[in-house]
Structure 1
Amino acid sequence: MTDTDTKITLVTGGSGFVGSHIVRQLVEQGRKVRVLLRKSSNQHAIKGLPVEIVYGDVLDPESLRKAMEGCGTVFYSVVDPRFWLTDQTPIFRNNVDGLVNAMDAALECGIERFVFTSTMGTLGINPDGPVTEDIPFNWLDRAPPYIKARLEAENRLLAYCRDKGLPGVALCIANTYGPEDYQPTPHNHALWDVARGAMPIGIDVGQPTVDIRDAAQAALLAEKHGRIGERYIIANEYVRNRDFYAMATKIRGNKSPRFLPYKVGYGIAWVAERVMKLLGRKDFLVSTDAMYLSDVFRELDNGKARRELGWNPRPLEETVRDAIAWFAKREG
């Protein structure tokens, strides 16, 4: 047993989809777990788990320092995903400033490992084949503010590792699916809607995916084996929605949705976006940015995570089956 195994482990964002699964796996390993939450956080995802809960906020540096006292590892899984906000100020404040506060606190408290939940959105685009961690970010001119905030956050982490000695590792995680999604996350719940026949129309797009349990396992493996200052692609299978949704509907015996071409979906979003602006509406989900992000990512190469972390994700069919079974039991 290593020193970090015996010390308290802090998980920030432990009520979220990724964070709660990290908490669950740490508990299964018999680790001492502390979870930093805001008082307004929904705690259903970690209800009944033997963890210490402390209240604070990543925008409150003092609460971060108190939460990290006596800890060996920090799993940082705080993310503000609200890409639809008209005013993007909170996105940068929560995703960038909050991380900087946490890294400063980690350095002050002598944290031995800092595992950061990043996103595949910080990766470059490679039209000629699978994307690796070595491809530099090359679509800044098209990236929406949410992606720019996540990229800035990851760049700050890597700079802290390089210049200040932060023992950090970044995980570039694909779209997560699977059970125990209490929020629920929009894309995971959409899979359930398709499976139960509640989504008659879909858009013909594709996405890299990963099982939420495998994403959490990757975080724990990164704590042990990840190289400081490195980032790892945590993605499994790339799938087009036609095939993905066919898996889901087959399980429940329903018809697959009808699919609109991407260009038609983008055109609908373009019109809807302008109507909303004319009406003075704010914070609308249907947008050209959302449509662009739904189909910009292609196959991601997880070879580095397999080689260096010993990561071995499960088949996508198992993820789909378990996600649908969980939603069916929870929602009936």
Structure 2
Amino acid sequence: MASVLLTGGSGFLGGHLLRELRAAGCEVRALSRRAESDATLSAAGAVPVRADLADAASLERALAGCEAVFHAAADTSVWKPQAMAQTATNVGGTITLLRAAESARVRAFVHTSSVSAFSHLVHDSLNESVPQRGAQSWINYERTKHLGEQAVRGSALPWIVFNPAHILGPGDRHNWSRLIAMVDREKLPGIPPGSGAFADVREVAAAQVRAWQQQRFGQAYLLGGEHASLVDFVHRVGAMLGRRTPARATPAWALMAYARVLDGWSRLSGREPAVTPEGATLTCHRLQVDSSRARRELGYRETPLEALLADTLAWMAGEGMLVSRPA
């Protein structure tokens, strides 16, 4: 039985990775810093281990005897006051984990990056040959995901990198589920004018484990899904929940102006605003992702958005996260 260290195991994608790894017969050691996470991870079949991405010695202890690392932990904040902590996690933490894995003679490093490593500055359809521009971005999340990925690519370890698009599915408590909850409560003030590629979290996790099993080392894979405008996305959610939604997108200039006002107030209150200039910029971007390489080499599947939303809403309803019942 292969032993694997998983970071981010109590998170959205990490929870699905944990299930896929256990189904593949792996012993999973999951990074944990709190007792609450211990209980969640243990219930899912993992062995919680006390370690921190900022503490090389703790990581080396956790990695002893492990065959592979699945690195899914990340700071996804798009609020400028969190930039220093985010850089420490996404860049510094990745580098520390890489060095610890090298010392422990781990034989594989499977890294969850993001389409954000390419940056909103790229307007073409993304494929693996498109140059990343994250290093040039003013958005710290994009920059740190790019730099973390580059550290992995420059490592002496056998690595595989994944760049998922907008991840959606059961288990989402903090990402697209926040927008869905606003639609459910008819509290959504407007719809951004951008578009996305919606990836099924279950397929993202399965593709990562499959790539490791096939030893696709030195390869990177974009993982997208059905493309839809955010107007279309919101209207579909509204129809499924029987809720009213804005008829059309808010102009980008108006959304940015609103975000700047909220950002100004947040500096006085110290509380993260509902919309930041960074978040507004990202949701105004029209993202296009080509997943053909992952489909061809890993059997990756793009779940139709209607079915993916139905599964997500059903899970949210079961968790008491929705006021209404999805149709």
Q: TM (normalized to structure 2)? A: 0.89
Question: Is 2:180 aligned against 1:191?
Answer: yes
Distance 1:121 1:18 in 2: 16
Q: 1:251 to 1:47 in 2, by over 3 A?
A: farther
CA shift for structure 1 position 320: 0.4
Q: 1:142 to 1:67 in 2, by over 3 A?
A: closer
Distance 1:260 1:106 in 2: 46
Stretch moving more, 292-301 or 193-202: 193-202
Within-5 A mapping of 1:1-332 = 6-39=1-34, 42=37, 46=41, 48-123=43-118, 125-127=121-123, 129-138=124-133, 140-160=135-155, 164=156, 166-181=157-172, 184-195=173-184, 197-199=186-188, 201-225=190-214, 227-258=216-247, 259-277=249-267, 279=268, 281=270, 283-331=272-320
Distance 1:216 1:297 in 2: 25
Distance 2:165 2:143 in 1: 17
Tell me the residue number matched to 1:3. none
- Structure 2 contact 198–225 (Cα < 8 Å) conserved: yes
Report how many residues are paired: 319
Stretch moving more, 280-289 or 252-261: 280-289
Amino acid of the structure 2 residue aligned with 1:298: L
Q: Structure 1 unaligned segments of length 5 or more: list them.
A: 1-5
- Structure 1 contact 173–235 (Cα < 8 Å) conserved: yes
Q: Structure 2 unaligned segments of length 5 or more: list them.
A: 323-327
CA shift for structure 1 position 272: 3.1
Distance 1:264 1:195 in 2: 23
CA shift for structure 1 position 257: 2.9
Q: 1:200 to 1:226 in 2, by over 3 A?
A: farther
CA shift for structure 1 position 296: 2.4
CA shift for structure 1 position 317: 1.2
3-state SS, counterpart of residue 153 of structure 2: helix
- Structure 2 contact 226–302 (Cα < 8 Å) conserved: no
CA shift for structure 1 position 156: 0.8
Distance 1:285 1:141 in 2: 25
Q: TM (normalized to structure 1)? A: 0.88
Q: 1:101 to 1:180 in 2, by over 3 A?
A: same
CA shift for structure 1 position 285: 4.7
Distance 1:10 1:280 in 2: 39
Q: 1:96 to 1:115 in 2, by over 3 A?
A: same
Percentage of matched positions with identical amino acids: 26
